[in-house]
Amino acid sequence: MANPGKGTFLITGGLGYIGSHTVVEMLQRNYNVVVIDNLSNSSELVLDRIASICGRKPVFYPIDLCDKPALEAVFAKEKELQAVIHFAALKAVGESVEKPLLYYKNNLISLVNLMDCMIENSVNNLVFSSSCTVYGEPDVLPVTEKSPVKQAISPYGNTKQVGEEIIHDTTQSSQLRSIALRYFNPVGAHSSGKLGELPLGKPNNLVPLITQTAVGIFPFLRIFGNDYSTPDGTCIRDYIHVEDVAVAHVIACERLLSGKGENYEVFNIGTGTGYSVLEVVKAFEKASGLNLPIQIEERRAGDIEKVFADTSLSNQILGWKATRSLDEMMSSAWVWQQSLINKE
Ligand code: NAD
Ligand code: WQD
């Protein structure tokens, strides 16, 4: 049931990992939510999980954003939209190197179609999922939003850079206003234990690989290099709880609706603290009470040695701050993994 008097937000990719957590945050704040997702990396069952947490489902359209007539039909039907949060994208870095056109088509045509429909229908507020990948290997740490955007290492990373440019240019010549959120490394799962990451096939990212190793899907965790110039030799990242990332989207939408700020703004979404791969493994072992089998291997091509965020701008201007610890990230990821195994 829609809540009259509360804003209505379109969330693309709203059944995916970060999108589903954001849908929950929005519904729990009594906003109305419309989701578009083509289910290419998610399942319609996520709608039931959302309903079991919030007591209601978002309106759902199972369409592909590259299908412009289908998207136009959604905008023709949903007349109350006040803002769009655009999560929908393909995100596997390695796959993007093998299939660049798939990534350019999916991630950029969908963005252009979406912005066209927004402008045609005077829906003038857009929150965009960007990534710390735009900073590449930074010269100075922590990275601020003014740190240089380095040449992209992968077609995936390039879709984020070009996506930001497309949005920036459009906000300079239309009524469209936008906030790009550059997430660092979102991990963990919902505190209810009912939502989390559902990687199809073999995961690429560290935390799902840790939890899947812990339940015996893999014999050991491969650690890609321990000869980096870091205290324990393993790479450093700014891991951030997915629920903190979700909250940042609510705040970004509210900022756009308030009319505050410039037409186009960029914020880092991280904790500001970097942890090494071995520190993450230790935190997982503490959360689970298990010993995780590991094997040190060669460096992975394209890995950044260390990156973590300067969050002053998002703390002070956006008014958002990450609140959940690495221990909470690991314990929620572990609860989620166990719930998946118990279902099998
Ligand atoms: P995800 O794959 O779990 O979610 C993306 C959702 O978009 C999926 O449900 C998928 O089915 C849908 N989708 C993809 N292409 C679509 C299309 N053409 N039309 C309709 N739906 C489509 O990914 P996620 O981890 O939740 O990431 C969300 C966003 O955040 C992405 O834009 C990603 O690039 C960005 N991001 C993610 C991370 C991360 O580590 N997870 C880090 C930085 C940025
Ligand atoms: C984290 C650390 C690995 C797996 C990727 C994308 C980036 C962004 C976030 C979207 C690294 C190490 C990993 C393993 C390991 N996504 N590792 N063994 O590479 O920081 O970023 O996701 O925008 O664009 O590139 O994340 O989770 O893959 O790796 O030792 O089996 O864990 O070397 O240091 P990454 P990750």
Q: How far is the CA of 69 from the centre of ligand 2 (A)?
A: 36
Q: How far is the CA of 187 from the centre of ligand 1 (A)?
A: 14
Q: Which two tokens stand for residue 51?
A: 């309903």
Q: How far is the CA of 96 from the centre of ligand 2 (A)?
A: 15
Q: Cβ(91) to ligand 2 under 6 A?
A: yes
Please give the angle made by the CA atoms of 269, 239 and 19, to the nearest 5 degrees. Answer: 60
- The predicted pLDDT at position 303 comes to 95
- The predicted pLDDT at position 342 comes to 62
Spell out the domain ranges in the chain: 8-187+240-270
Q: Which atom of ligand 2 is nearest to the CA of 133?
A: 24
The answer to whether 98 and 153 are in contact (CB under 8 A) is no
Q: Cβ(158) to ligand 1 under 6 A?
A: no
* Least distant ligand from the CA of 275: 2
Class in CATH terms, 8-187+240-270: alpha beta
- The predicted pLDDT at position 3 comes to 73
Q: Cβ(218) to ligand 2 under 6 A?
A: no
Q: Cβ(239) to ligand 1 under 6 A?
A: no
Which residue among the candidates 156, 183, 239, 264 is catalytic per the annotation? 156
pTM: 0.98
Q: Cβ(15) to ligand 1 under 6 A?
A: yes
- Nearest C-alpha to atom 24 of ligand 2 is from which residue? 133
* Least distant ligand from the CA of 187: 1
Q: Note the pLDDT tens digit of each residue in 294-343.
A: 999 999 999 999 999 999 999 999 999 999 999 999 999 999 999 987 65
- 156 carries an active-site annotation: yes
What would the DSSP string read from start to end of 39-82?
-TTS-TTHHHHHHHHHSSPPEEE---TT-HHHHHHHHHH-TTEE
How far apart CA 217 and CA 208 sit, in angstroms, is 11
CA distances from 292 to 9, 175, 272 (A): 41, 52, 26
- The predicted pLDDT at position 336 comes to 97
- The predicted pLDDT at position 201 comes to 84
Q: Cβ(11) to ligand 2 under 6 A?
A: no
Q: How many CB atoms lie within 10 A of CB 250?
A: 19
Strand-pair partners of 266: 180
List of the chain residues with pLDDT < 50: 344
